[in-house]
Chain A
Amino acid sequence: MSDLQFQLLAALVKVVLVVAALVQAVPVMTWIERRVSALIQDRWGPNRVGPLGLLQPLADGIKFVMKEDIMPSEAHKALYFLAPAMALIPALVAFVVIPFGPVVQISGRSVPLVVADLDGGLLFTLAAASMGVYGIVLAGWSSNSKFSLMGGLRSAAQMVSYELALSLSLMGVVLLSGTLRPMAIVEKQAGWFWEWNAFLGGLQFVGFLIFLVAGFAETNRLPFDLPEAEAELVAGYHTEYSSMKFAMFFMAEYVNMITSSALAVTLFLGGWQLGIPTELLGLQPGWTLWTLQILAFAGKVAFFQFVFVWVRWTLPRFRYDQLMDVGWKGLLPLALANLVFTALLAMSGRGRW
């Protein structure tokens, strides 16, 4: 096999793996969401279909497919049809630059366990995430319904506002690491877990918290789910959607959650690093170590998935003016202060380069 053929094959395998994992995580997440929400509200949750209700997502999937696909009259047909795809595709694309494991050796060639190891990888994620808002806005507009339109407008304002705080909170880590390549950022967080960027390694806990809050807002999750606030807007931007088109919005939300968790883990919590020096474990680079590291990444991401669910069923929703206040007067100045602090830190020689 020539080098080019090998690289193409590796890329293809990685793409299929990542997309399959992301899409398959959605049904699992719906089950976790409902079980954990039940736990928090002292109920059982779905427990009839299969053991522990584990087959519930399958039943949901069948139900989605069987539902009638409705298109409102007076809807803008082309955009109404395209909007779900425009929400889901950027969500999937944003994940391609996130490393889910170290650089591994396969038959003498090194393969980084990331779909695309780009020089400006972090910017790529931000660019893809900023494209996601189009799906929601256009769904709201093309449905020709007031509720949908209000949801779409809110989401446009919300996403543009919180994107600023989100990108600024990342810049602290970028300053310390001196690179925008996620793989390099993770590699620089080797060693003990307190040397991760969120802790003593980068002193980025403020940046981490800002990122987390802004991440909740970017994924339209409670307490920031104003675009679909059901008490006021029926179901917000996807009020008029049914069947698999609705399911695609649903999937986009969950995939976005996974991506922002994965990004938080990559930047602030050591990505696929174990948090214990590998020499101490007596492990040589090999499939045992690599599998452990992939599992460490998956475990950290899974923990954040749980946090997303936990927060959703614990906190009430913000009011619209509160949302804007938190974004512009709270998070943005805080993120700027954090950036200045980090710049001073980097100048004083704490930088990792």
Chain B
Amino acid sequence: MTALTLAAYVVLAVLALVSAVVVVWHRNPVVAALALAFNLVSIAGFYLVMDAQFLALLQVIVYAGAIMVLILFVIMLLNLRQELRGRDSGLLQRVLGPLLALTLGLLFVRVLWRSVTSGFAPPTPEFGTVASVGRELFGTFFYPFEAISLLLVAAMVGAVLLAKRRL
């Protein structure tokens, strides 16, 4: 790892962490959603540093560009006055929240530990290009890929069906 990539890592890590904290703590849902979009873009920056250009671009297009815009859209449709004043979180939230966070944190530590001890090979420059991702997706992982797209179509049809019934 060169000094430049290390510097990029540090800057991106600070950006990602600060924006993540803002997502959780900010009272205003629009600001929180915006911080989440910012967080997603900084994660895309991590992908770029790790030579996964294709993944980084898709992350920006799909998550930051489409999904977050829809989330913002929905938040703006809601009346936020009550939310801005804030209300106490319930007992369930106070107990379950830290518990879930702790579980997730332990999971992260475990993954980190394993990646340190097992020692992954560093990615090659072709690792994240469109061509190599495509070859993996439509070659090695062809059947899982098609199965997932089928699952997504089924979920979409189901959602439309449920929404139509209530119309």
Q: Which residues of A contact B (CB under 8 A)?
A: 76, 79, 118-120, 123-124, 126-127, 130-131, 133-134, 137-138, 140-141, 149, 152-153, 156-157, 159-160, 163, 167, 180
Contact = CB atoms under 8 A, between A and B. Distances in A.
Interface stretch (B3-11, B71-79, B102-110, B145-153): B71-79
B76 A149 contact: yes
Interface string B30-41: 110010010000
Interface residues of B, number: 22
Contact of B60 (A119, A131, A137, A157): A131
Interface of A is mostly: helix
Contact of A119 (B30, B53, B76): B53
B57 A163 contact: no
A133 B34 contact: no
A137 B74 CA distance: 12
Contacts of B58: 123
B66 A119 contact: no
Given A120-B53, A134-B37, A138-B34, A127 B73 contact: no
Contact of B64 (A76, A123, A130, A156): A130
A109 to B, nearest CB: 22
Contacts of A167: 61
B59 to A, nearest CB: 9
Contacts of B129: 119-120
Interface of B: 28, 30-31, 34, 37, 53-54, 57-58, 60-61, 64-66, 69-70, 72-73, 76-77, 129-130
B65 A163 contact: yes
A156 B57 contact: no
Nearest to A133: B69
B73 A157 contact: yes
Given A126-B61, A127-B65, A130-B61, 11 more contacts: A79-B31, A120-B129, A123-B54, A130-B60, A130-B69, A133-B65, A134-B72, A137-B73, A141-B30, A156-B69, A160-B70
A152 B76 contact: yes
18 contacts: A123-B58, A130-B61, A130-B65, A130-B69, A131-B64, A131-B65, A138-B30, A141-B30, A149-B76, A153-B77, A156-B70, A156-B76, A159-B69, A160-B70, A163-B65, A163-B66, A167-B61, A180-B130
B124 to A, nearest CB: 14
A141 B53 contact: no
B60 A153 contact: no
A167 B61 CA distance: 11
Contacts of A159: 69
The binding surface of chain B is classed by DSSP as: helix
Contact of B76 (A120, A130, A141): A141
A145 B139 CA distance: 52
Residue of A79, A126, A130 most packed against chain B (CB within 10 A): A130
A133 B76 CA distance: 14
Given A118-B53, A123-B61, A127-B57, A137 B69 contact: yes
Contacts of B34: 79, 134, 138
A153 B57 contact: no
A153 B73 contact: yes
Contacts of B77: 153
A76 B60 CA distance: 25
B50 to A, nearest CB: 15
Contacts of A141: 30, 72, 76
Contacts of A157: 73
A126 B58 CA distance: 10
Contacts of A149: 76
A120 B54 contact: yes
